[in-house]
Amino acid sequence: MLPAFFLLLQPAGAWEVVAFRVVCSLGVCVVLLLVTNGWRRLWAVIRTPRLLLGLALAGVVLYVNWQVFVLAVLGGDVVQGALGYFINPVFTVLLGVIFLRERARPAQWVAIGVSVAAIVVLIVGYGSVPWIALILTASFGTYGLVKKRLGPRVDAISGLTVETTLLVPVAIVQLAIVGATSGLVFGSHGPVQLIATLLSGVATGAPLLLFSAAARRLPLVSLGLAQYLTPVLQFLFGVLWLHEAMPTERWIGFALVWIALVILVVAARRRAPRALPASAESA
């Protein structure tokens, strides 16, 4: 639902939207810290330089992901944004091989090869490199890698609090630049746009925190399959509601990406035990 939500914030531009998204997300985190009395956990994270550095890196790639995604939505490229999240599982496998020294199985290498072929086809279909999709893939995949490295030492609320706190100065500079150039839209286009802007923190934080709660309760296979719902719904929203163009070359490219995902899912389910411990946690 995020593409539909961000369209409610128009006529605000992507830079203003993301700046308020950062500030409002921090506000949500502060409220959650007050409700859960999580200040001690937060302080433990802040006092550990290695964790703080990792969260700073996570904040940078998260900011890139947020900014590019909103630019895609408000620029009429929801389908290409969905493509980025379709490719992400395959890219995550590649990151695991390169940085975590995990061994990729033959089926995973096949999926990577099919995804590369899909990108080539999509370059032909778009007439240029689909940079939005590739940047979303790289940023979200890197964010997942960083959070994987940090592990359970950083809980979801503390992690998001630190990340958004570090991004607030960037958001303030963005708002100042937008205000000095084109002018801020906030508060000048009716109550719906105003309330939606203020709720951008909830729209951002709630899915992340609910995912964290689900990760502790669901088998990993179920959790992984559920994540494919996001790009599927975004793709359908872009094609059916926004009527974005889908020429034959793009359909072929998307079909190749979906084939790669099917290969990954089948391989994962064959190797998965009947019951997996629901002990994973993610931000």
| Domain definitions of the chain by residue range | 2-271
pTM comes to: 0.87
Distances in Å between the alpha carbon of 189 and those of 11, 141, 195, 196?
Answer: 8, 36, 11, 11
**In Å, how far are 66, 90, 172, 223, 242 from 104, measured between CA atoms?**
29, 11, 43, 20, 38
* Burial tier of 50 (Cβ tally within 10 Å: 0-12, 13-18, 19+): exposed
pLDDT at 278: 40
3 Cβ contact list (under 8 Å, min separation 6)? 73, 78, 81, 234, 237, 238
**Tokens coding 75:** 């620029």
Residue 38 or residue 188, greater confidence: 38
Of residues 181, 238, 216, 211, the one with CA closest to residue 6:
238
| Separation in Å, CA 209 to CA 75, 119, 214, 219, 270 | 28, 32, 9, 17, 29
CA–CA distance, 221 with 93 (Å, rounded to integer): 15
pLDDT for 275 beyond 60:
no
**CA–CA distance, 126 with 251 (Å, rounded to integer):** 11
- The pLDDT of residue 178: 94
- Predicted pLDDT of residue 24: 93
For residue range 80-108, list pLDDT tens digits in order.
Answer: 999 999 988 888 888 888 888 888 788 88
Give, in order, the Cα–Cα distances in Å from 158 to each of 74, 97, 127, 185, 278. Answer: 30, 29, 43, 31, 21
Separation CA 240–CA 27 (nearest Å): 35
CA–CA distance, 52 with 205 (Å, rounded to integer): 20
Q: How far is CA 182 from CA 12, 13, 18, 67, in A?
A: 10, 10, 16, 18
Question: What is the mean predicted confidence (pLDDT) over 102-124?
Answer: 87
Q: How many residues does the chain have?
A: 283
pLDDT at site 217? 72
Please state the separation of Cα 133 from the chain's center in Å. Answer: 12
62-76, 192-206, 213-227, 236-250: least confidently modelled range: 213-227
Phi-psi label, residue 127: left if phi above 0, alpha if psi -120 to 50, beta otherwise: left
Tens-digit pLDDT profile for residues 133-167: 999 999 988 998 898 888 888 888 999 999 999 99
For the segment 229-235, the average pLDDT, to the nearest whole number, is 90
Banded model confidence at residue 64, pLDDT cuts 50, 70, 90: very high
